[in-house]
Amino acid sequence: MRAALLIPTAVALMGAGRPPGLADVREVRHWSYPDYTRVVVELSAPAVPELHRLGPDPDAGRPERLYVDLPGVWVGRRYAEGIPVRDGLLEGIRLGQNTLKRARLVLDLSAYGRHRLLVLRAPDRVVVDVFAPPPPRSGSLPPLPPVLRPVRTVIVDPGHGGHDPGASGLLGIREKRITLAVGRRLRDLLEARGFRVVMTRDRDRTLSLEERTAIAEGAGGDLFVSLHVNAAPRAAARGIETYYLDPSDGRHTVTVAARENGVSRKQVDVLQRTLAGLRVAAVSPQSRALARAVQESLVRTLRRRYRRVDDLGAKPGPFYVLYLSSMPAVLVEMGFATNHIEARRLRSAEYHELVARALADALGAYRTERARLAGESGEAG
């Protein structure tokens, strides 16, 4: 009976040949945390998924389910045995050929609070996030809106790592080394201020964009800070800039987004169109306020020590690592590895210390402001 949702007809069981022109399922991955599970299906070509939710059927012994139809996708019988999960949210993952020209992903749920469906490119992926039910609040009060929630946990994301070195620049600079050095120092400074800090990586290892943000969601992060180093074809390009999520199409922003997303400029356009159809406004005001606080603190702190620090501003931009996070999030470009003056700074421990302190100051000030707003509202976190 459980197979009925996957194969309503016997066509896939009768040895029917594969139609031409279909995409393949390359891999299925999942990450589990106490209150959150992420499932990723990687494809060989784009697909337009259709997600549905079905309630439990006690008479048939079926749990509550989410299922995602993938038109134009062939999986055949590769995952006929299914993938057990049993993490308290998902019992398991099933993937099968629903019709000759459509695959179907089924998530058998153990518990359910809400879900989110995302589509990524380069490589093509379908992402399904499942969240646990929220704990009940005293007096049956509704959950606090994002602007009033206390800031306790900061996710520090040192960009790139492992076989992805990031931007390469003058003086032997590798972005992954600088982001990790600053990230470790920022962690220490934030913990000294009483924050709980979770790093997406604390060593030189490879992480996909979806795994970075799965770590953030699974840790129950309140803020997400992704650290990066800029690069440009022009050696004269220099300055500090901070991004928050928005379907912006500024020329420079698209170039930066393409590099950090690992896609072409043309594929950034696809992400922009996707974002335009999403409700990114839920955390956008908080992300914008955080980006401005970070940018102002960085420029102010660095100008005390260095003669010229160009302020490129806090900007909206379409970045996957921000798009995949449901909390206020920013992406910081700490300087240009391709500029001779800034490359020398980026190599120095002094610069790492100043950047980390500026970020810690900004996050501390942001936390204080959020607490003030919560106090004025009469709410407690």
Residues 26-83 have pLDDT tens digits of: 999 999 998 999 999 999 999 999 999 998 877 777 779 999 999 999 998 888 889 9
Q: Exposed/middle/buried for 139, CB within 10 Å: 0-12, 13-18, 19+? A: exposed
Residues 121, 176 within the same domain: no
The answer to whether position 141 is within a domain reads no
Spatial separation of the C-alpha atoms in residues 329 and 288, rounded to whole Å: 9
Spatial separation of the C-alpha atoms in residues 70 and 39, rounded to whole Å: 14
Q: What share of the chain is helix, strand, coil (3-state, %, to 5)?
A: 35, 30, 35
Residues 172, 65 within the same domain: no
Residues 200, 129 within the same domain: no
Residues 165, 103 within the same domain: no
Please name every residue paired with 245 in a beta bridge, in sequence order, or none if there are none: 317
Instruction: Please give the tally of structural domains in the chain.
Output: 2
Residues 353, 209 within the same domain: yes
CA distance from start to end of the chain: 45
| Average pLDDT, integer, range 356-373 | 95
Residues 29, 175 within the same domain: no
For residue 62, give the CATH number of its domain. Answer: 2.60.40.3500
Spatial separation of the C-alpha atoms in residues 213 and 321, rounded to whole Å: 7
For residue 304, give the CATH number of its domain. Answer: 3.40.630.40
User: Is the pTM here over 0.85, yes or no?
Assistant: no
Residues 165, 72 within the same domain: no
Spatial separation of the C-alpha atoms in residues 217 and 282, rounded to whole Å: 16
Q: Which residues contact 273 (CB under 8 A, 6 or more apart)?
A: 247
Which pLDDT tens digit goes with each residue over 126-183?
Answer: 999 999 988 776 555 565 555 567 899 999 999 999 999 999 999 999 999 999 999 9
What percent of the chain clears pLDDT 70, i.e. is strictly above it? 82
Q: Could you tell me the residue range of the domain that residue 54 belongs to? A: 2-135
| Average pLDDT, integer, range 283-306 | 93
